[in-house]
Amino acid sequence: MIFGRKDALKSKELIDITGKVAFVTGANRGIGYMTVKRLALQGATVYLGCRDETRGLEAVAALEREVADAYATASSPQPVPGKIVYHHCDLSRPELAKDCGDKFLERESRLDVLVNNAAALPGGPGISPHDVVTINHFGTFQLTEVLLPLLTKTSQTNTDVRIVMVSTNGHRMGRASDRNIRFRTREDYFADYHKDLIPPWQAYCVSKLALFLATKALQRRLLSASSSEPATHPITCISVHPGAVNTFSNRVPYLPGWLITPIVNLFFISPDAAARSLCYAAASPEVAEDKEKFRGAYLVPGFKIDPDTDITKNETLQDEVWESTVEILKAWPEAGQVAP
Ligand SMILES: NC(=O)c1ccc[n+]([C@@H]2O[C@H](COP(=O)([O-])OP(=O)(O)OC[C@H]3O[C@@H](n4cnc5c(N)ncnc54)[C@H](OP(=O)(O)O)[C@@H]3O)[C@@H](O)[C@H]2O)c1
């Protein structure tokens, strides 16, 4: 089988998360949509993040039907499904990501699982390479930062709070595989990608590397913060590569989905199969039982941990991403000013 497809089709039990609250970004379609479904079926209240209210509410309605059907036809006893709730989530500018987080804090008193799934994939219409970096790294970082106090508060009563960052093997490719890569300045993130062969792909790889490095820095910060604050339990951060997933065959221009989808499905896994990896990171008993093993790890299809590369294990580079991201976000131009 190609692209690790066989591994990605495996399934694992999840824990009952009744009474817990999860938030999945970019969940009106694709892998995020199926992740919401699986987490709701485990009993959690799940917030479905989407940047468009109409599409978000349509997704909630469709998921409510699918979840009810799955519960009614389950062959073994299952938790009573949790509620699915729309939450506006636009990461296209940091101030919008902050607003998404602030509004979440206003409406919820806990957050047990944050799944940072939303991303601009390379090749999306009207999306520049710099937009890809803004959305995937800076928007996601900003949202996570705003939600951290709520996650930390939840960790006073829940020993198993988790942050799942959806990554990709692309964080080891193209520009992101350059051993001399740096993240000191705005220019390091917002390079002139048009000099590259496939500019949006290069930006995608860099954005996902930056996010992965920031996640590793975050995990170290959370561990050291919780050691000085004994009332909290350290939050577990896991980066996940969901595999090569067919979330695109129904959007290929000029080619009908009925023709292209069966061919693509020979090589790519379904969004539902991919969601198993995200849900494993979010709610598997294995992670609960051996948190040390999973903290800061990179999970690949088949529920396996892939070792760090020389680049991703470099703590100086991890801290560089963390510190420069905080500085760049502080100085981010307001809407209407010159874009970075
Ligand atoms: N598909 C793959 O083969 C693959 C492989 C490796 C990693 N991944 C990762 O898996 C995750 C999900 O990918 P997918 O294949 O399910 O992609 P998808 O079908 O394109 O879905 C992406 C989601 O992100 C949302 N999104 C895009 N831009 C956004 C923005 N500015 N603000 C808020 N939300 C935004 C989209 O919303 P709209 O509907 O409004 O556009 C959509 O809900 C991504 O992090 C991706 O990098 C995917």
Whether 262 maps to a domain, the answer reads no
Residue 66 belongs to a domain with what CATH number?
3.40.50.720
| Euclidean distance between CA atoms 156 and 237, whole angstroms | 17
Contact 161, 235 (CB under 8 A): yes
Q: What's this model's pTM, rounded to 2 decimal places?
A: 0.95
In a domain, 335, yes or no: no
245 close to ligand 1 (CB < 6 Angstrom): yes
SS3 content of the chain, % helix, strand, coil (to 5): 50, 10, 40
Percent of the chain having pLDDT more than 90? Answer: 81
Catalytic residue among 20, 208, 249, 280: 208
pLDDT digits (tens, 9 = 90+) for 2-44: 555 566 666 789 999 999 999 999 999 999 999 999 999 999 9
Q: Which domain holds residue 203?
A: 10-245+273-330
Q: Is residue 337 part of a domain?
A: no
Residue entry with tokens 């930056």: 210
pLDDT at 261: 86
What is the side-by-side strand order in the sheet with 236-240?
84-88, 45-50, 21-24, 113-116, 162-166, 236-240, 298-300, 304-306
Buried b (16+ CB within 10 A) or exposed e, 86-112: bbebbbebbbbbbbbbeebeeebebbb
- In short, whether 242's Cβ falls inside 6 Å of ligand 1 is yes
204 carries an active-site annotation: yes
Is 339 domain-assigned?
no
At a CB cut-off of 8 Å and minimum separation 6, what does 321 contact? 183, 210, 213, 214, 217
Residue 127: helix, strand or coil by DSSP?
Answer: coil
- Count of domains for the chain: 1
